[in-house]
Chain A
Amino acid sequence: MELSDANLQTLTEYLKKTLDPDPAIRRPAEKFLESVEGSQNYPLLLLTLLEKSQENVIKVCASVTFKNYIKRNWRIVEDEPNKICEPDRIAIKANIVPLMLSSPEQIQKQLSDAISIIGREDFPQKWPDLLTEMVNRFQSGDFHVINGVLRTAHSLFKRYRHEFKSNELWTEIKLVLDAFALPLTNLFKATIELCSTHANDASALKVLFSSLILIAKLFYSLNFQDLPEFFEDNMETWMTNFHSLLTLDNKLLQTDDEEEAGLLELLKSQICDNAALYAQKYDEEFQPYLPRFVTAIWNLLVTTGQEVKYDLLVSNAIQFLASVCERPHYKHLFEDQNTLTSICEKVIVPNMEFRVADEEAFEDNSEEYIRRDLEGSDIDTRRRAACDLVRGLCKFFEGPVTGIFSGYVNSMLQEYAKNPSVNWKHKDAAIYLVTSLASKAQTQKHGITQANELVNLTEFFVNHIQPDLKSASVNEFPVLKADGIKYIMIFRNQVPKEQLLVSIPLLISHLQAESIVVHTYAAHALERLFTMRGTNNTTLITAAEMAPFVEVLLTNLFKALTLPGSSENEYVMKAIMRSFSLLQESIIPYIPSVITQLTQKLLAVSKNPSKPHFNHYMFESICLSIRITCKANPDAVGSFEEALFLVFTEILQNDVQEFIPYVFQVMSLLLEMHKNEIPSSYMALFPHLLQPVLWERTGNIPPLVRLLQAYLERGANTIASAAADKIPGLLGVFQKLIASKANDHQGFYLLNSIIEHMPPESVDQYRKQIFILLFQRLQNSKTTKFIKSFLVFINLYCIKYGALALQEIFDSIQPKMFGMVLEKIIIPEIQKVSGQVEKKICAVGITKILTECPPMMDTEYTKLWTPLLQALIGLFELPEDDTIPDEEHFIDIEDTPGYQTAFSQLAFAGKKEHDPVGQMVNNPRIHLAQSLHKLSTACPGRVPSMLSTSLNAEALQYLQGYLQAASVTLL
């Protein structure tokens, strides 16, 4: 393409068309531009247009097109053609900087972006004069130009903030420092001087402050990797000026906007960042300046207003102080009583005040308010920063700080008492202050775990918290109510039980409060109180103590779900679940009404599930209703099926993905409640459960396996007779699961149930294939988890089919396979098996191999007999794993292990551990002794001789113990 007027004209027309809203016009134009962008001069035509076009819209359009062109084509990828010819590259680099600098801001930004893309590839080697070209512009005195240069430099240098140290990078930085650091410093000084000469010229100041912000950002980038010699030598200049900028104020720069941060705030924020960078990384060199910054920053805090636009600056500044005051060698900066008092009075207290913005959030955006206040997502808020500063100061000055604040708390409470309806915010601040002062460590699970001993929490509770909650109206002073409830919640471990018991009815009545925050907090507090542990691993608050409140509790909880804004309130639903779990059989009389309300809720939310936690607790509550009721009356299962199946069918038919795993879990629970043969309603569903589409979703796998296990337990014979053609599909599921490292244990659960429950003849033809599959996994990608499951399975198989059958099937797959598995897998790995039932299965299986498998006695396998026995004794004598307690009440949903993305296990749908060996063998050690005795009777002399030749002494001693306990001797 020639650089001709005709081509410029053509290009203009096409560019114009790319702006057309009609795709029929726009698309072909875009296509055309794409087709010519490989031609020489194309980028130069664009640059000409963006400079000289008569129409502004074409200028802008050309600049955007140019930037995108550079973005797509500038990088030279190895083995791919160079997409921009060399003369164009040279011409672009020669012209772009002056062009960028002389363009209006809108175009300047595009070109600046383009320069940084080019710079990323070409700078410094292939663009050696870029730096000098930029630096020369500093002298221009035109701050429009200077800001263009600074912005470009910022986009070129900001990568120094995240790249790794390397020779290449540091060579570049050194080059930049050599060329740039001094001019930047001079520019910095000159700009500051200009700020004072133009102190009365608002528009000049704005430009100058934009420069200062960019300069401060460049400072951050250039100082990030290490402290450059130049900046160490010139620390005085930079830090003195930064320091004075922090203290500077100019009415002309103040903005009217309350929300958006102005230039002054942005600059000061960046300076705080710069100071924090030096304090973190270059403490040694920065030490002489640090005290000045501490003073400046707290003065800044004292003089900064409450408006939202200052929030980031204020919280940055407070966090800076908080991080400094914790360090031992800066302790002295804060030690003075006057200093402490002034920080407390002028920095902490004002930033803890409840502001208009907080009030608005409390009323109109309660979800956000709760998230910030309760769940700690308040990292950038002023209150959080102030709280962190209190904690930081308490590290060294707990006594004095507590003393100072006690005075404040008292005076604020007095203010409140004078006129509550006007001064309620004073009490809010007092409560917040007490809370932040008293809490030293906190977890979601336990509330406050470490408290300041200098604060009397119970006294404050009785005198100032309870009276608010006892007031006749639950809707008066909602903020104070929420504060009071939160106080109970977080100090639940510090306040004595009798006070908690007094609070429970108060909390229950606040479930009716109109304010979303208040009834949410009430539900949350109840839920937390119900999970507290008393002595003997029971709940602190017992069902008996709750007896008088059962009805009102349940009524108010369900009523809370009807309050505006709370129809899917997860805190309320969680409190329902926890109440069921605590109250147990005392809820039975209310179940008919409860289950109706829950199924209605389920039906409603399944149209559009949006609150995962709410849904989870709702299903937990359903499970609890089933378990509690059926425990007392097993026949009630039918009425639950009647109430639930209609909704479940709808969920499955509509493929409500979020709910399907839950539905499977509830169905499993229901099916397991049945004592007799599997109902036909379940069998009709069976083929659908084997559909691959269900198994492709990881969240479905555990509950589906669980459900298929329930099918096998209750209906193995029905499956064998009525659905034999589905057995390959069932095994296909097993194969699918076994292929996955994450899900192989699920595959084994399924396989174990198949082997245990299916009639042997129905799976005969598949047995060999099953083992081949397992051996393949073992060979190709063996993991500890797989081996553990594998060992349990083969021993279960041995128990079910006999040791000889195990040996025969192994050896039929490959000669001597049995010996190899014994030697390479069972003997060395058996001690890894964990879990009481699993160990028992392995013990009984191995006993069978030792005593009921003739080839172990009279083939080459004999040499493995004693090592196997030794391994078994090792398994016995390992310390037992702790079993999972039956009482799962305390399990927190968030705490349950397994980080499946989509699967949420229902704690209350859990099944009891199943022991396939059961009563057949009570004591595996005795069982071993007896089996050995039997073996030795069959072939006298052999067993003792095998023992004496190679069993080690310790194992022999254990074995003799077993024989004695079983009162048998070996012949």
Chain B
Amino acid sequence: MDSMANQKTVLAVTDDVVLPVSSVLTIMAQLGNERFDPLIVTQASTINQFPLDSSSVDAVLAISKTSDFPSDKICGEFSRILKPGGTVFVCKNLEGQVEDMQQTIQRRVTLAGFLEPQCLDLKSIKLSTFSLSFGIKAKKPSWKIGSSFALKKPAKVLLKVNLDDDLDLIDEDSLLTEEDLKKPQLPVASGCATTKKACKNCVCGRAEIEEKAVKLGLTEDQIENPQSSCGSCGLGDAFRCGTCPYKGLPAFKLGEKVTLSRNFLEADI
């Protein structure tokens, strides 16, 4: 082991033009991290890859005044260069609505693979050239590729439902009554006239009528020489009644052969 064994490495990165070392030291001390070796990268918004090996730094400190930094891609890079178990701090200096930004950043680091995002209030940190409003702290998982997953985190961790995200909104589920939460009743048909077909244990005779209609395939004669006692069959589906044998076929003239329809969206038979 080399003499830097006790020194932890931190990468401090910003999309701004400058970032004084003293500020980095102050922030890290406030966040509970002493004795480390800082590396500073500025104007980092367009960086594709950091010039660092994978799993090489203990912590990453990202500072920004803008909402876009760090982007999804850069968060991914943080994940790459951090040692397993390492910590990322995303610190923001923003006016006005911070809740949305907090949620957005939490989501971004989560999707980059970080665990246990926490929100920190950083307004009290005294810095010379700028100030901070809040920060998000998250951890890189400590498993390594290739090792087996004996890791069983205590159940508490997974079950912690983080309601901190929506501190300022009421819980919408509280608006529902017990009645609302019960499985809904399907509408009871009032009489079978309103149902789409006869009931399973039909007693009124409707089932028989429907069965007859289904079985009534058209005879050759009915196709060659169509007749209609009601007079409506030839007018097309819009005028036919429920039991009409010509249902589904195009309009026709009485006595003239029924042709196939010219439906543009019919499958080629």
Determine if chain A interacts with chain B.
Answer: no
B contact set with A: CB distance below 8 Å? none
